[in-house]
Chain A
Amino acid sequence: MSSFVQLEEVYKRYRMGEVTITASDGVTFAVEKGELAVIVGASGAGKTTVLNMLGGMDTCDEGHIWVDGADIAGYTPRQLTAYRRYDIGFVFQFYNLVQNLTARENVELATQICRDPMDAAQVLQQVGLGERMGNFPAQLSGGEQQRVSIARALAKRPKLLLCDEPTGALDDQTGKTILKLLQDTCRETGMTVIIITHNQAITPMADRVIRLKNSRVRDMVCNPSPVSVDQIEW
């Protein structure tokens, strides 16, 4: 319970007709506060299930999920919503910006519902979009959109920043800048960041690498000296 984020023997099973698929088969890992963790695994390894449960978007069937001392595994849907609302910042693979809102408004969409949000303009400034906050998503490049997405997540001052394949839809170079942003954010603000990806190549930048395979944690490695994103090539 000492860790900031801790999963203990978490099981998640789906019934697909007559077959029961175990998507999480006793997953156990921990992430410390202020770490940048990468959960990596191939397709179908159970990353998304872990993400869903950690993000409060799904519940587990067994086990405990501790986040900052609270076990969200026992949360009601409403508590889960509150958890998502106040504790989690989510960065989507496809940015999921509301097309009809400007960059700033997209950030505001999140800050509207928070208790102590950051100033939207300031966050956008922080992610390097100070000049473009009046633009609609369609007027922004993919990388810029992802920055908006990150800004939206950060603006809530979450306890945990969850990123689902944040570079999945971006070209390499842009992907790197996004990862850099995430790394910098982690370093500068002490934010706990968990990146979920299938891309093994980015693991060197993480403080902690959790490898999933067949719905289980294959290994969890702490990286005492993570490299800067700039030095990673893939």
Chain B
Amino acid sequence: MKRPNALFKDTLREIWKTRNRFLSILAIVALGTGFFAGIKATAPDMLQTADNYYARRHLMDIRLISTIGFDEDDVAAVRQTQGISGVQPSYTYDLYLQTDTVNECVKAISMGNLRAAADYLNRPVVTQGKLPTQPGECAVDAYAAQKAEIKVGDTITLAPAGDEKNLDDVLAQTAYTVVGLAQSPMYVSLDRGNTNVGNGQLSGFVLLSESSFVMPVYTDLFITLDYDAQTVTDADYDTLISAKSDELESVMTTSVTARYHDLLDEAKQKIEDAQTTLDEEETKARAELADAARELEDGRAKIKSGLSTYTQSKNTYQEAIAQAEEQLQNGQTEIDTKENELAQAHTLCSSLLAMGTDPATLSGAQGQALIAASGALNAQLPQLYAAYLADPTSVVLKAQIEQSLAALSASLSQSDAALAQAKTDLAQASVDLETQRAQGKKQLQNAWAKLQTAQQELADGEQSYAEGEQELEDKLAQGRADIAQARKDLADIDEPSFYVLDRTGNVGYTDFTDDALRVDAIAKIFPVFFILIAALVCLTTMTRMVEEQRTQIGTLKALGYSRGQIMIKYILYAVLASLLGALPGLAIGFTVLPKVIYDAYTMMYTVPDMVLPFRWDYALWCTLAAMVCTGAAALAACWRELTSTPAALMRPAAPKAGKRVLLEKVTFLWNRLSFLQKVTVRNLLRYRKRLLMSVLGVAGCTALMVAGFGLKDSISAILDLQFTDIIHYDVVAALDADVTEQRGTELSQYADSLPESREVLSVCQETLFVSGENGKKEATVTVPGDPSAFPDYVSLQTRVGRTPLTLGDSGVIINEKLSLLLGVKVGDTLHIHDTDRKTVDVTITGITENYVRNYVYMTPALYEALYGYAPQDNALLIRMNDSQDAAAFDAMAEQLLGQTDVLGVVNMRDSIESFRNVMKSLDKIVLVLIIAAGSLAFIVLYNLTNINVTERTREIATLKVLGFYDNESSAYINRENIISSFLGMLVGLAAGVLLHKFVVQTSEVDLVMFGRTLRATAFLYAGVLTMVFTFVVNAVFHFKLKKIDMVESLKSIE
């Protein structure tokens, strides 16, 4: 084993002797492997850091949300599912956190810290203080607390942010003592998410003990699954999640839906009961009313008969009275007549008596009249008188007369008595009548009064009947309305929706993963390019080395060493350089690059310090690749020499013959060159291979820098392009999907009426799958309510040339990225898929410039033509008077969110802001790229120049002997360097365009299109940097050239 040993020693000495070369290979390998491994490891490191954090903090795998909450039965049902390792039922509620100075919308979350360890999920990291265990204690989001200047020991107030007046149904109390500050694995992104209350933006979270909540049902179920976080692969995890999600969905379908139906049935039963009760009550009330009506009717009849009886009585009475009065009158008249007659009779009788029986008197006129009149008293008297007169002496007659007169007088007296009696009687009768009248009248009056009372009673009865009836109707109407409302409400209660969310539903989780993948996308192409350049340079260097060692190879061969033994030296040299280069490269690559990039990202995340595992697989592959590359390069370089005979090798290699170059034929140009320029041109073209290597190496680095700067430009271009040139609205208000057209119009007008808004456009936006030639992607189908106003909100235009596109009824306009993803162009057919509706085909009439998200734009008319009904507007695009005014936005957002049917309000400024942050972190990555590309450029240039110089040491020494000053001999070499670098730079700038295009396309995610144009500055920076590196390398070599000993020129050619 002595010979290999000697060879090994020789190799070590060789390394020492050519340490610059060795170091340059080492450096290139270090840079290549370090960059490759570092960039490659960044994304896995980021993900692993996050995964470890999630595992340590028991981040939920699945989150269940239901519109009707969860009760213990649901929890039990979930627990019974196979493969579940923990379930934490939890309350969450969006509300205002208030202090004297702060009013922020936050999410109150109940803590599971008092539950069994397996069920204590989403464990917060306490940065200060402790976690709440008692009602009245809270822990505040450390990030939000820092912004709001809330400290441990402070008291905060929680207030409703939505429609409700107080939090009585939610929380046991509203004042809380801050006992700690915490970070949550649920919130790794500084973007805390959206809410449908307040200004629509959550500022953070506040953790409360479960006992602080008084809600009847849990709002969330957090679930962890049974798997080993250390060993599970992404694919397995995804499979597990999707399987368990389905299972839980079916469990919940059973459990929650059953409960929903119970609730529904209960509610239905209640309504039915109410209906029955109402019906019964109605019947009863109606019966009562009917009775009352009947009674009233009776009363009315009674009053009627009473009235007629009264009238009859009154008539009878009046008749009786009248009759009696008439009788009385008649009696009086009779009495008066009789009295008169009697008085006359008396007078007559007295006269008769007074006249006596004197015939003289009797025969007088007076007498005669009296005698004629006496007939009225007694018909016989005149005869008697007559007889007496005729026989005045007849005493009989006289006596008769006297007797008759006496009788008459007696009879008159009798009549007087009778008359008196009659008078008395009449008077009595009159008195009696009066009495009777009075009595009758009184009776009548009583009867009337009675009737009146009865009538009043009846009227009252009627009144109360009417009132009762009205009351009943009202009551019934109310009852019916209530029931109808209840029925309607019941009918309006949708089937309970429950959402099975996995971690991808978490903003922070998704963003962080996306960012890591973005790094990975960049890692796809840059490092490969890098390694390629490194390999190229290694090959050149090794080739040069073998050429230099020609004689020695020949000697060894002559001494009888086998090819393998000789080769081993060079391979060993190369492999050692790779190995030794790979070690620091990997060490630095694995630590510095992921750290720098991660730190750039942590500006936007609250995540723990990065884990930087040494990735043996990458390390091994990288080192192996580097060793194989350099080893193969060494082998390739050796091969030609080793196939020559020793004798040929011992002779100095025939110097590469000089040649005239093509340019010399272009005499007018050639003649203009100075002599030294001619020499340079010829030298450059003499070593074509090396020129090619130089040009390629430098070009690669320049291209990397162009791509780096270009990537930065492309990403930052999105901001200006998307939010200035394309999107003109400032705010999007999302409406309930079920909102009616009328309500939509109302809300639109309302938004328009707000002082902060300038104009409003209602649109219908649906996220649907669309497909074309090459695939199926999700896109937002946007149907503006008024297509003619749409350009004020979104500019539809071609990217190249900025030609405005008009939305027509004949087809849709889609964005460029979508067209690229789907492989479609104008005139092609786009299929729009929907689970609930048929798939429709539309023609693409335009492709518009757009950088964020994918859109399909169509007119309402087209929509209606496709689906058969008009689009239902579900979002409002709002342009504000001053889009920069955050306070105005908050005010408007609160107003809008105060409206029912407004689900959320998004400020485009926030989107811009979050983009800006993404870009800041990408800037750092780009900086890393540029620094790496720059160092690569430097090493490549150094190495190639080194080769150039070592190869031409003799020439340079000769020049020195000829009397070239140091700067002249430097210039002699450097001029070539500068020209090859310059050529490399030019090629690199051109290649940079392609590399940039490629990098931009590979590192883009589906939702984003980076700017496609390269700015002149990217070329400028990359070009200038390349030339700066060239000059730095030249400066370094100026000193190295100075050191070249002129004695070299005297040595024999090896």
Chain A residues within 8 Å of B, Cβ to Cβ: 48, 51-52, 55, 57-58, 78, 81-86, 88, 90, 92-94, 96, 98-102, 105, 108-110, 112-113, 136-139, 152, 156, 164, 169
Q: Assign chain B's interface to a size class.
A: 20 to 34
Chain B's closest residue to A98 (CB) is B955
B965 touches A78 (CB 8 A): yes
Contact B960 A105 (CB under 8 A): no
Q: Which of B658, B686, B963, B1046 has the most A CB atoms < 10 Å from its CB?
A: B963
Which residues of B from 810 to 845 have beta carbons under 8 Å from A? Answer: none
Do residues B654 and A98 form an inter-chain contact, with CB atoms below 8 A? no
Judging by beta carbons under 8 Å apart, are A109 and B1049 in contact? no
Chain B residue at minimum C-beta to C-beta distance from A86:
B963
Contact among B655, B961, B965, B968 with A90 in the assembled complex (CB-CB below 8 Å)? B961
Do residues B961 and A57 form an inter-chain contact, with CB atoms below 8 A?
yes
Q: When the two chains form the complex, which single residue of B654, B679, B964, B1049 contacts A101, counting CB atoms closer than 8 Å? A: B679
Docked CA distance A105–B680 (Å): 12
A88-B965 in contact (CB<8A): no
Taking a contact as CB atoms under 8 Å apart, the answer to whether A164 and B1050 are in contact is yes
B659, B962, B1053, most chain A CB atoms within 10 A: B962
B1052 contacts the other chain (CB 8 A): yes
Nearest CB of chain A from residue B954's CB, rounded to whole Å: 7
Q: Is the CB of A81 within 8 A of B658?
A: no
Q: Is the CB of A136 within 8 A of B658?
A: yes
- Contact, CB under 8 Å: B676 / A112: yes
Q: Which residue of A lies closest to B961 (CB)?
A: A90
User: Could you tell me which residues of chain B, from 637 to 657, have a CB within 8 Å of some CB in chain A?
Assistant: 654-657
Q: Which residues of A contact B964 (CB under 8 A)?
A: 81, 85, 113
Please give me the residue from chain B that is nearest to A82 by CB atom. Answer: B963
Most chain B Cβ neighbours within 10 Å, of A83, A90, A139:
A90
Contacting residues, chain B, for A109 (C-beta < 8 A): 675, 679, 959, 962
What chain A residues lie within 8 Å of B962 (beta carbons)?
84-85, 90, 109-110, 113, 152
| Beyond A57-B1047, A101-B679, 17 additional pairs, beta carbon < 8 A | A51-B1050, A57-B960, A78-B965, A81-B965, A85-B964, A85-B965, A90-B961, A96-B954, A99-B657, A102-B658, A105-B679, A109-B959, A112-B676, A113-B962, A138-B654, A152-B962, A164-B1050
With A78-B965, A81-B963, A86-B963: A138-B658 Cβ-Cβ less than 8 Å: yes
Chain A residues lying within 8 Å of B954, measured Cβ to Cβ, are 96
Q: How far is the CB of B94 from chain A (nearest CB, A)?
A: 80
**A110 / chain B contacts, CB cutoff of 8 Å:** 962
Known: A57-B961, A98-B958, A100-B682. A108 touches B655 (CB 8 A): no
Known: A98-B955, A108-B675. A84 touches B1053 (CB 8 A): no
Q: Give Cα A98–Cα B658 distance, bound, in whole angstroms.
A: 9
Query: Could you say which residues of chain B place their CB within 8 Å of the CB of A100?
Result: 658-659, 679, 682-683, 686
- Considering the complex, give the chain A residue whose CB is closest to the CB of B964: A113
A99 and B655: CB pair below 8 A?
Answer: yes
Q: Is the CB of B1049 within 8 A of A92?
A: yes
CB distance from B1041 to the nearest CB of A (A): 13
Q: B961 to A84, Cβ gap below 8 A?
A: yes
Q: CB-CB contacts of B1023-1054 with A at 8 A, as 1s and 0s?
A: 00000000000000000000000110110110
- Do B679 and A136 have beta carbons less than 8 Å apart? no
- B961 in contact with A55 (CB, 8 Å): yes
| B657 with A138: CB separation less than 8 A | yes
> Contact between B1049 and A96 (Cβ–Cβ < 8 Å)?
yes
- Closest CB-CB distance, B63 to chain A, in whole Å? 75
Complex Cα spacing A96 to B1047, Å: 12
Q: Which residue of B lies closest to A109 (CB)?
A: B962
Q: Mark B615-656, 1 if CB is under 8 A from A, else 0.
A: 000000000000000000000000000000000000000111
Specify which chain A residues have a CB less than 8 angstroms from the CB of B961 in the assembled complex: 55, 57, 84, 90, 92, 96
Report if A84-B657 is in contact (Cβ < 8 Å); known contacts: A96-B958, A100-B682, A101-B682: no
Contact A93 B1050, beta carbon cutoff 8 Å: yes
Question: Min CB distance, A95 to chain B, in Å?
Answer: 9
Q: What is the minimal beta-carbon distance from A112 to any residue of chain B, in angstroms?
A: 5
Most buried by A among B659, B961, B964, B968: B961
| B961-994 with Cβ < 8 A to chain A | 961-966, 968
A-B contact count (CB 8 A): 94
Q: Whole-angstrom distance between the alpha carbons of A99 and B955 in the complex? A: 9
Closest to A100 in B: B658
Measured between beta carbons, the chain B residues less than 8 angstroms from A94 are 1052-1053
Are B655 and A138 neighbours in the complex by a CB distance under 8 Å? yes
CB neighbours of A136 from chain B (8 A): 657-659
Instruction: Please give, as numbers and ranges, the residues of chain B lying within 8 Å of A92 by CB-CB distance.
Output: 958, 961, 1049-1050
Across-interface contacts of A169 in B (CB, < 8 A): 1052
Instruction: Give CA–CA (A85, B658) in the complex, Å.
Output: 25
B658 and A99 contact, CB distance less than 8 A: yes
Of all chain A residues, the one with the shortest Cβ separation from B1051 is A94
Pair A99/B656 contact, Cβ less than 8 Å: yes
Choose one: A51, A88, A101, A108; the contact of B963 (CB below 8 Å): A88
Question: B959 — nearest CB in chain A belongs to which residue?
Answer: A109
Residues of A within 8 A of B958 (CB): 92, 96, 98
What residues of A have a CB within 8 angstroms of the CB of B679 in the complex?
98, 100-101, 105, 109
* A29: min CB distance to chain B, Å: 21
Give Cα A112 to B963, complex, Å: 11
15 contacts between A and B (CB under 8 A): A58-B1046, A78-B965, A85-B963, A85-B965, A88-B963, A100-B686, A101-B682, A108-B675, A109-B675, A113-B962, A136-B659, A137-B655, A137-B658, A152-B962, A156-B963
Between A82, A98, A113, the greatest number of chain B beta carbons within 10 A of the residue's beta carbon is seen for A98
List of A residues within 8 angstroms of B658 by Cβ: 98-102, 136-138
Q: How far is the CB of B83 from chain A (nearest CB, A)?
A: 76
Please give, as numbers and ranges, the residues of chain A lying within 8 Å of B968 by CB-CB distance.
113
- Asked, given contacts A100-B683, A164-B1050, whether A139 binds B963 with beta carbons under 8 Å apart, the answer is no
Complexed CA–CA distance, A84 and B679 (Å): 22
Find out whether the CB atom of B686 lies under 8 angstroms from the CB atom of A84.
no
* A57, A81, A93, A112: the one within 8 Å of B675 (CB): A112
B931-968 at interface with A (beta carbon < 8 Å): 954-955, 958-966, 968
Nearest chain B residue, comparing its CB with the CB of A48: B1050
Residues of A within 8 A of B656 (CB): 99, 138
Residues of A within 8 A of B1046 (CB): 52, 57-58
Chain A min CB distance to B667 (Å):
14
A86 to B654 alpha-carbon distance, docked (Å): 32
Q: Which residue of A lies closest to B1053 (CB)?
A: A94
Cβ of B655: which chain A residues have Cβ within 8 Å of it?
A: 99, 137-138
B window 650-675: CB within 8 A of A: 654-659, 675
B957 and chain A: residue at smallest CB distance: A96
Is the CB–CB distance between A113 and B963 below 8 Å? yes
**Bound CA span A83–B966, Å:** 14
Residues of chain A with a CB closer than 8 A to B966's CB:
81
Residue of B954, B1047, B1050 with most partner-chain A CB within 10 A: B1050
- State whether A93 touches B1052 (Cβ < 8 A): yes
Shortest Cβ gap from A128 to chain B (Å): 21
**Within the complex, what minimum Cβ distance (angstroms) separates B737 from chain A?**
79
Q: Mark B236-270, 1 if CB is under 8 A from A, else 0.
A: 00000000000000000000000000000000000
Bound: A48/B656 CA distance, A: 29
Q: Please give the distance in Å from B660's CB to the nearest CB on chain A.
A: 8
- CB of B963 within 8 A of CB of A52, answer no
- Chain B residues within an 8 Å CB radius of A84: 960-963
A92 to B1052, CA, bound (A): 10
Which residues of chain B from 684 to 723 have any CB-CB distance to chain A below 8 Å in the complex?
686
A221 to B144, CA, bound (A): 101
Which chain B residues lie closer than 8 Å to A98 at the CB level? 658, 679, 955, 958
Query: For B955, what are the chain A residues with a Cβ–Cβ distance below 8 Å?
Result: 96, 98
- Cβ of A52: which chain B residues have Cβ within 8 Å of it? 1046-1047
A108 to B, closest residue via Cβ:
B675
How close is B675's CB to chain A, nearest CB, in angstroms? 5
Shortest 3 CB-CB distances between A and B: which pairs? Answer: A85-B963, A136-B658, A138-B657
CA distance A57 to B964 in the complex (A): 12
Closest to A165 in B: B1050
